[in-house]
Amino acid sequence: MPSEEEQAEREAKLAKLEKEKKELLASLAGGDFSTLKTKVAYILNLYPQARNSDITLSIKYWETFQPDIYNESGILPKDLFKLERLHYIVRARAKIQNEYGLFTSDSPVKKFRKKREEEMQDEVLKDASPRKVITVFADETGKNQNYVIVASVWVLTGRAVYTISKSILDWQSSSLWANREIHFTKFGKRDSDTLAEYLNIIQANREFLSFKAIAVERSRTKRKIEDVVEKLHEHMLLNGLEHEVEHHRISPPQTINVTLDEEQSLDAITLAEVKRRVNSHFEDRFSGEMLLGTLESVSSRKSPMVQLADLIAGAINRRLNHDGDKNYKDEMADRVIHALDLQLGADEVDGIDVTTLFKI
């Protein structure tokens, strides 16, 4: 029987691990790749083969995060010192799998990892294919205005989440926005040129991105605002996925992971209900080949992709809800809408009891 002191120590350790696990999942959901642990988790999540092989894991890590150094045709001896050390990668993998219980390896590999890896040499050296994952970053706005809006950024491949996040952060680090979070509502008159630079970065990665928004007039519904926002998120996912499939940008099977700004108005119970209903629809429509995997809320502070969703939501909000004199904010909204080719046509969405604006 453990003493009270030992029991307290054990509980403290478990609480610490749970906190670290939640922080890791939040970083992963938000596209925050500032730590080695998050980068390793990203590879384990995207490449299931890497869960069973530290060699595969390391190769995919170097290929993804250090492509300027890693070269499958040959690496210069001096560059070996620049690659992330394999034992650091393995140590992070062991913590993620063994202590957090995330992205675990197959049972036979757990028992005989080294022996199995040697037996799997040919498989290990093959190019590991990533899981088919779409990541959606969404934000809401206009809850106290005429139109309530949910806007979203769809990243159409799992690999592109890191590619685009890195492109934004690399540019931002030497820009006038180096030390600020990007929020449309906080733009001033002097931000116009920097906004243009930012939009150039997004346009350069446009092939990996799709933008969607859905809005409803508050005056035409008697629902509580929380219910309105809930339904908008749900139908944004349902109609957004249908649109991607119809336009042949994606095809089953796919996993859709969704990240929301933690300042949104949906609590954990509501998120679970939305996830259940969306997956029920996916089961009926796509015979289980489409799956809503995660539905997380994270701080926008460290997520460049959530900040991009905020920018789009802010621009559309300005266009739909502002009826005063036009100024620089309207010009910025127009610039965002034009640069990202946001189509603001009105459509009726089945399943919602009022006419809505579904924007693709």
- Name the pTM for this structure: 0.87
Nearest alpha carbon to residue 296 among 61, 22, 50: 22
CA dist 177 → 171, 185, 210, 308 (Å): 9, 14, 24, 14
Query: Contact 339/198 with Cβ under 8 angstroms?
Result: no
- Structure token digits, residue 49: 């083969």
Can you tell me the distance from the alpha carbon of 311 to that of 317, in angstroms, rounded to the nearest whole number?
10
Q: What phi and psi, each to the nearest 5 degrees, are found at residue 297?
A: -120, 135
DSSP 44: H
**Please, what are the averages of pLDDT over each run of 10 residues along the chain (360 residues)?**
79 91 94 95 94 92 92 80 93 95 78 57 64 94 92 94 96 95 95 97 93 89 90 93 89 95 86 95 93 93 95 95 93 94 67 44
- Model pLDDT, residue 355: 38
Q: Tokens standing for 345?
A: 């046509």
Cα 56 to the center of its chain, rounded Å: 24
What local confidence, expressed as pLDDT, does residue 360 receive? Answer: 35
Per-residue confidence (pLDDT) for residue 293, from 0 to 100:
95
Please say whether the beta carbons of 274 and 234 come within 8 A. yes
Give the model's pLDDT for residue 354: 40
What strand order describes the sheet that includes 147-155? 290-298, 254-261, 133-141, 147-155, 209-217, 356-359
Position 346 scores a pLDDT of: 58
Residue 66 CB-half CA count within 13 A: 20
